[in-house]
């Protein structure tokens, strides 16, 4: 490896198969000190496998990994750490019942001469680390009380304590709001200023172009291109990802009618939101936007019965309804595709078939028609292009995008009249996004109505008829999606130049 080029990591000819499936096919990739080298590709393109190989969690079939001048045919987890590689996964890997300091020193505790943990020393060292990174956290704070953005920052600080020179960041902003994303990207820039190198994986191409120096695209396990960010475009990267052009914004026909399907009046959940009122029309997609913590997801949870409202009324088809639990919401014809598919939407150890068919089975009848369930599930799996080895494959082994589409398939079988989508395309690739969008459009064309929470402003603007803006637990504006822009929407989110509605 050429140290004078600044290159600190080189992957050459890396290949990995799982049975007959080729996950990585002669992949070449390199990383320079002080750069952000982004890695993009559709779900199943090989990104996760490459990360696991670098972290020592998977063993490649062939190829080599050279880190700081030492060449390996494979890395063990310990060798990966010793090489200065730290991986920060999309799902936060912290012990939430422990403090900030305890998490940083977990497994590498500072001990007194007689063997007891020196908590005071750990707290002092934690304060020093946090100050050096301009991260405002209290060493004594329990991790469970931290926001997603703060937890991401803590994982970065922990990696630096382990003397990491290379940070692999897997979808770090997937659960963050606009302002939190800005703060994290600022932190990443400060890391590169200290000559740390970042491998940055994200489905948000706008982030790639803001934070990256180079971007490598994987498609079907192969490198389809490596580009200097300053010399390429979103269109070129998108084409390399999927083999064809794809617009960032969609254009769709509006099919909403004046008929009101859902009315919400003065809905309140103590400590979350208050006095929320809006109408949802037949054939309408009503988007909900705002910074993380504004209360938008809590509103959806109340409408689906996952949280019990403090006060307010909900009317469906002109009749007041009580949705004190999800079973009642389902019975009334309200479906919800949740943000956290791992804990709220899926039964990881059950099959694809069982996960898709479960809601209709519970709703309609105690006696199952296995042949009908299999046929209907097969039809949806095909139409949504859910990639699997078959309906009996354990759903936890599918990619994130395919899991998301499986949750959608489940609710499509339920024949609801109101669909709630909470971050419907979070963590999925461009191809999966289009399939989810197409199905949402089909639903409203069929006369269904949709509520959509999204942190993706292009998604909000292009998919919504109207956008409800929430701020500090209140609905502060309802805007026509066709007459707004990302800039104007962000100002609404932050309360800049707008008065509360």
CA-CA distance, 450 to 442, in Å (whole number)? 11
Mean of pLDDT values over 368-377? 74
Is the pLDDT at 364 greater than 50? The verdict is: no
β-pairing verdict for 36-40 and 214-219 = parallel
Q: Phi and psi (nearest 5°) for 469?
A: -100, 125
Catalogue the long-range contacts made by 360-363 (C-beta closer than 8 Å, 24 or more residues apart).
Answer: 360/413, 360/414, 360/415, 362/327, 362/330, 363/330, 363/331, 363/414
Which is more confident, 181 or 123? 123
pLDDT confidence bin for 414, thresholds 50/70/90: confident
**CA angle (383 as vertex; 377, 389 as ends), nearest 5:** 60
Mean of pLDDT values over 99-125? 91
Place domain 3-242 in its CATH homologous superfamily. Answer: P-loop containing nucleotide triphosphate hydrolases (3.40.50.300)
Is the pLDDT at 232 greater than 90? The verdict is: yes
Which is more confident, 370 or 150? 150
Q: What is the pLDDT of residue 1?
A: 35
Mean pLDDT over each residue of the chain, to the nearest integer: 86
Domain ranges in the chain are 3-242, 260-333+416-429+446-501, 343-415
| Multiple choice CATH, 260-333+416-429+446-501, 4.10.910.10, 3.30.565.10, 3.40.50.300, 3.30.70.1230 | 3.40.50.300
Helix (H) or strand (E) holding 23: strand 21-32
Say which residue the tokens 């898709």 belong to. 356
Q: Give the three-state DSSP class for 318.
A: coil
β-pairing verdict for 334-337 and 311-316 = unpaired
Is the pLDDT at 247 greater than 60? The verdict is: no
Which is more confident, 175 or 393? 393
Is the pLDDT at 341 greater than 70? The verdict is: no
**CA angle (390 as vertex; 389, 393 as ends), nearest 5:** 80
Mean of pLDDT values over 272-286? 96
Is the pLDDT at 148 greater than 90? The verdict is: no
Q: What is the pLDDT of residue 250?
A: 58
Is the pLDDT at 3 greater than 50? The verdict is: no
Give residues with Cβ within 8 angstroms of 279, minimum separation 6.
Answer: 260, 262, 263, 264
Whether 133 contacts 52, CB under 8 Å: no
High-pLDDT (> 90) share of the chain, %: 46
Mean of pLDDT values over 35-56? 89
Q: What is the pLDDT of residue 204?
A: 79
Which is more confident, 189 or 220? 189
For 198, the token pair is: 């970042």
Which is more confident, 284 or 342? 284
Q: What is the pLDDT of residue 343?
A: 54
Is the pLDDT at 163 greater than 60? The verdict is: yes
Mean of pLDDT values over 397-407? 77
Mean of pLDDT values over 57-75? 94
Q: What is the pLDDT of residue 180?
A: 78
β-pairing verdict for 197-201 and 36-40 = parallel
Mean of pLDDT values over 272-295? 92
Burial 232-270 (b: 16+ CB within 10 A, else e): beeeebbbbbbeeebeeebebeeebeeebbbbbeebebe
CA-CA distance, 166 to 198, in Å (whole number)? 6
Radius of gyration of the chain (CA): 24
Mean of pLDDT values over 180-191? 86
Q: Give the three-state DSSP class for 201.
A: strand
Give residues with Cβ within 8 angstroms of 301, minimum separation 6.
Answer: 307
- Low-confidence winner among 168-177, 340-349, 434-443 (lowest mean pLDDT): 340-349
Q: Which residues pair with 474 in a beta bridge?
A: 471
Same fold, 3-242 and 260-333+416-429+446-501: yes
Catalogue the long-range contacts made by 122-127 (C-beta closer than 8 Å, 24 or more residues apart).
Answer: 125/101, 126/100, 126/101
Q: What is the pLDDT of residue 354?
A: 84
pTM comes to 0.59
Mean of pLDDT values over 128-147? 88
Is the pLDDT at 106 greater than 50? The verdict is: yes
pLDDT confidence bin for 477, thresholds 50/70/90: very high
Edge-to-edge strand ranges of the sheet holding 197-201? 85-88, 166-170, 197-201, 36-40, 214-219, 222-228
Q: Which residues pair with 421 in a beta bridge?
A: 337, 452
Say which residue the tokens 């409203």 belong to. 444
Is the pLDDT at 210 greater than 70? The verdict is: yes
Q: What is the pLDDT of residue 279?
A: 98
Q: What is the pLDDT of residue 54?
A: 95
Mean of pLDDT values over 396-413? 78
Count CB-CB contacts under 10 A for residue 56: 21
Q: What is the pLDDT of residue 367?
A: 45
Q: What is the pLDDT of residue 22?
A: 85
Which is more confident, 44 or 490? 490
Q: What is the pLDDT of residue 107?
A: 85
Is the pLDDT at 126 greater than 90? The verdict is: yes
Whether 353 contacts 329, CB under 8 Å: no
pLDDT confidence bin for 4, thresholds 50/70/90: very low
Q: Which residues pair with 111 in a beta bridge?
A: 117
Q: What is the pLDDT of residue 433?
A: 80
Mean of pLDDT values over 155-182? 84
Q: What is the pLDDT of residue 493?
A: 83
CA-CA distance, 471 to 485, in Å (whole number)? 18
Mean of pLDDT values over 432-436? 80
Q: Which residues pair with 18 in a beta bridge?
A: 21
Q: What is the pLDDT of residue 24?
A: 94
- The runs of H, that is alpha helices, within 114-223 are 119-132, 148-161, 178-193, 205-211
Q: Give the three-state DSSP class for 420.
A: strand
């Amino acid at each position: 490896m050429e140290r004078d080029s600044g290159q600190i990591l080189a992957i050459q000819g890396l290949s990995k198969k799982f049975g007959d499936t080729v996950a990585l096919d002669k992949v070449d990739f390199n990383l320079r000190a002080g750069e952000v080298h982004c890695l993009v590709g559709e779900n199943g393109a090989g990104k996760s496998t490459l990360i696991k190989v670098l972290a020592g969690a998977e063993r490649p079939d062939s190829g080599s990994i050279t880190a700081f001048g030492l060449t390996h045919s494979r890395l063990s987890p310990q060798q990966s750490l010793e090489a200065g590689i730290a991986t920060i996964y999309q799902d936060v890997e912290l012990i939430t019942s422990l403090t900030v300091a305890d998490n940083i020193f977990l497994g590498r505790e500072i001990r007194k001469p007689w063997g007891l943990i020196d908590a005071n020393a750990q707290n002092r060292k934690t304060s020093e680390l946090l100050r050096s990174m301009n991260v405002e956290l209290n060493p004594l704070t329990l991790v469970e009380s931290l926001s997603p953005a703060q937890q991401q920052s803590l994982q970065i600080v922990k990696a630096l304590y382990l003397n990491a020179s290379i940070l692999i960041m897997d979808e770090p902003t997937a659960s963050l709001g606009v302002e939190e994303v800005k703060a994290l990207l600022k932190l990443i820039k400060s890391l590169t200023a200290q000559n740390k190198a970042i491998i940055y994986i994200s489905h948000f191409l706008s982030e790639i172009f803001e934070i990256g120096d180079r971007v490598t695209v994987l498609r079907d396990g192969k490198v389809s291109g490596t580009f200097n960010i300053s010399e390429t475009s979103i269109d070129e990267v998108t084409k390399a990802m999927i083999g064809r052009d794809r617009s960032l914004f969609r254009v769709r026909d509006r099919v909403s009618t004046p008929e009101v399907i859902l009315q919400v009046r003065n809905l309140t959940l103590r400590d979350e939101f208050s006095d929320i009122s809006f109408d949802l029309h037949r054939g309408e997609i009503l988007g909900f936007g705002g910074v993380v913590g504004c209360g938008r997801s809590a509103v959806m949870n109340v409408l689906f019965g996952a949280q019990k409202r403090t006060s307010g009324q909900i009317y469906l088809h002109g009749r007041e309804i009580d949705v004190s639990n999800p079973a009642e919401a389902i019975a009334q014809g309200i479906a919800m595709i949740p943000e956290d598919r791992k804990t709220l939407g899926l039964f990881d150890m059950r099959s694809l078939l069982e996960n898709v068919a479960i809601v209709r089975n519970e709703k309609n009848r105690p006696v199952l028609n296995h042949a009908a369930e299999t046929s209907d599930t097969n039809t949806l799996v095909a139409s949504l292009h859910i990639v699997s080895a078959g309906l009996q494959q354990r759903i936890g082994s599918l990619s994130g995008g395919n899991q998301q589409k499986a949750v959608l398939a489940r609710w499509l079988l339920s024949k609801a009249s109101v669909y709630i989508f909470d971050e419907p395309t979070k963590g999925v690739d461009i191809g999966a996004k289009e399939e989810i969008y197409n199905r949402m459009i089909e639903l409203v064309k069929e006369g269904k109505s949709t509520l959509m929470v999204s942190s993706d402003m292009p998604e909000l603007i292009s998919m919504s008829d109207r956008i409800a803006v929430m701020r500090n637990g209140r609905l502060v504006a309802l805007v026509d999606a066709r007459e707004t822009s990302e800039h104007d929407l962000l100002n609404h989110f932050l309360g800049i130049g707008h008065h509360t509605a």
